[in-house]
Amino acid sequence: MKDERETKYKVAISIIFGLLGFAANFYPVDFVFYGSYRMSFLLGLLLPMLITLAWGWKYGLLSALCGGCQTMWILWLPGSGYGPLVSVPPFTLWIVWLGWFSRTRRNIYLGETVFRLFNTALLYTLFRWVFMLNAPPANVSLPLTVAHAIVFKEAVNGLFILFLAQGLLYSEMVRKFFKLPKSTADPRQYYIYTNAVILGGILFFSFVGERYIWNMWGAEFQYTARILGSILLLMVGVLGTYNAANVFAQRKTEELVQAEQEIRKLNQELEQRVAQRTALLEASNKELEAFSYSVSHDLRTPLRGIDGFSQAVLEDYSDKLDDRGKDYLQRLRNASQRMGRLIDDLLLLSRLTRQDFTRGEVDLSAAATKIIEGLRQNQAEREVEVNISPGLVASGDASLLRVALENLLGNAWNFTAKQPAARIEFGTSKNAECKTPNAKLPNDCPVYFVRDNGAGFDMAYADKLFGAFQRLHKESEFPGTGIGLATVKRVISRHGGHVWGMGEVSKGATFYFTLSTETRPKG
């Protein structure tokens, strides 16, 4: 319904404008240059031009056919013979062409130029030739000088009309009349069009005014009129420029306000999304907690049964079992105990993620020393040369970092078990000075490392090192659940750091880690 009403409105306006244009063209605005030469502007063409630029070529065509471009048949017919047959239809074509071209979003003056070239060619060729069909004595080819004049007049007239229509269509008032959305053009164009209109006004006053107005009031009034006219124009110019500047500033303010609103909206959305995500995360954390609680409790209970009753059989019925039977039972027990350790490690890993993070100063050297002491107590028979750089203090969560160091040093301890002169080193260096600098980190980023001369590993499997339950050695060679480095990685990740390993089979391994991507301030 709304569309239909709008279409009716457009059709009605197109027809009215066409008729008005038809009438207006009977009163061309003449700029007199000399003698019999007139520069006349068909201002009526402005009306169909406005229609075609605002609503497209179909309405433009309607308006042009309804009279906007048809006055010239009557103006030019007497005395021109067949001439108008060639020179008048292009006006309608002009309206249609520019209406279409303006929709292509290319510069409208390019379209005007293309049309003007075509029209000029037409005027010089077909138009001049068609005069020969006229009844004598007009049956001569049009003189070239006349053709020049016509071409020039039409070019100036066309450009002027187009310019005026464009300028008017920048005005919000005109846009409202045509039900167009607010202009998105660069507001600086207002300056140009305003000043162009002023220039046009000066020309009008100087030429048209001289002929029609000043003379009416008498020659003695001419100078006063010109001075008054100039002052008036100057005022109009100042006002127009002020208005343009105002529009410009207003537009800028509107843009800023809009941008601010958009930012605020985005912010709100972002906050909402963060809240949503947090709620989701909390829910999944809760679920994980419930899950690991259940794992911790329920998964271990049957294992205790398996281990306990196997032991009970070994104790109570050992006389009825041969060695093989006893061995099987022992294996049953080993397996269930190993499963128990796996569950414990898995729980530890999941707890690391859930645990609260409390940042503080952590003395890594002291923690490492303590861990090594513990390892030495457990296996007093082993001789290991340990070198811990003193005074390594980092910012992080003490309990998490202890777990990471326990795993790294514990690994180093375990994997040097078969090395007669075992050596473990804990220290720090700058990224660039590492054996394998991390490309993602700045060169002066502090990097901690744990180095050993133990079993090492094949670099081909380096990407598997940090996955949970990934082992690069046989259980029988080096015991472990394969979860230690996954744990380390999780701790380091929670600190916002990186961890990577470097190794060579039977020559040892070095594990590097950073605790934050920030570098120390340069001093």
Partner 1 sequence: MKDKFLLLVEDNPDDVDLTIRALKKANILNEIRVAEDGAEALEILLGISSPETLPSVVLLDLKLPRVDGLEVLKRIRADERTKFLPVVILTSSTEEEDIINGYKLGANSYIRKPVKFEEFSDAVAQLGLYWMLLNEQP
Task: Tell me how far CA of residue 11 lies from CA of 15, 19, 79, 166, in angstroms.
Answer: 6, 12, 35, 21
Cα 512 versus chain centre, distance: 37
Residue among 305 and 467 whose Cβ is closer to partner 1 = 305
Residue among 298 and 323 whose Cβ is closer to partner 1 = 298
The two structure tokens encoding residue 260: 């601010």
Q: Is 333 in the site for partner 1 (CB under 8 A)?
A: yes
Q: Which stretch binds partner 1 (CB under 8 A): 7-15, 225-233, 323-331, 339-347?
A: 339-347
Which of 217, 234, 278, 302 touches partner 1 (CB under 8 A)?
302
Q: Is 361 in the site for partner 1 (CB under 8 A)?
A: no
Q: Is 323 in the site for partner 1 (CB under 8 A)?
A: no
What is the rounded CA–CA span in Å between residue 11 and residue 517?
68
Which of 3, 4, 220, 298 touches partner 1 (CB under 8 A)?
298
**Secondary structure element (H or E) that encloses residue 479, with its range:** none
The two structure tokens encoding residue 317: 């019925």
Q: Is 435 in the site for partner 1 (CB under 8 A)?
A: no
**Cβ of residue 430: shortest distance to partner 1, in angstroms?**
38
Phi-psi region at 456: left, alpha or beta (left = phi > 0; alpha = psi -120 to 50): left
What is the rounded CA–CA span in Å between residue 444 and residue 361?
21
DSSP assignment of 76-145: H-TTTTTHHHHHSHHHHHHHHHHHHHHTTTS-HHHHHHHHHHHHHHHIIIIIHHHGGGSPTTS-SPPPHH
Listed as own residue / partner, the contacts of 250-256 with beta carbons closer than 8 Å and 24 or more positions apart are 251/187, 252/187
Q: Is 308 in the site for partner 1 (CB under 8 A)?
A: yes
Q: Is 291 in the site for partner 1 (CB under 8 A)?
A: no
**Cβ of residue 295: shortest distance to partner 1, in angstroms?**
10
The two structure tokens encoding residue 435: 């054996």
Q: Is 223 in the site for partner 1 (CB under 8 A)?
A: no
Which of 265, 304, 359, 464 touches partner 1 (CB under 8 A)?
304
Q: Is 398 in the site for partner 1 (CB under 8 A)?
A: no
Residue among 43 and 342 whose Cβ is closer to partner 1 = 342
Which of 27, 177, 212, 309 touches partner 1 (CB under 8 A)?
309
**Secondary structure element (H or E) that encloses residue 424, with its range:** strand 423-430
Q: Is 293 in the site for partner 1 (CB under 8 A)?
A: yes
**φ, ψ (nearest 5 deg) of residue 72:** -65, -25
Q: Which stretch binds partner 1 (CB under 8 A): 217-225, 242-250, 252-260, 309-317?
A: 309-317
**Cβ of residue 429: shortest distance to partner 1, in angstroms?**
36
Q: Is 9 in the site for partner 1 (CB under 8 A)?
A: no
Residues in contact with partner 1 by the rule CB under 8 A: 292-293, 296-298, 300-305, 307-312, 333, 336-337, 339-340, 344, 347
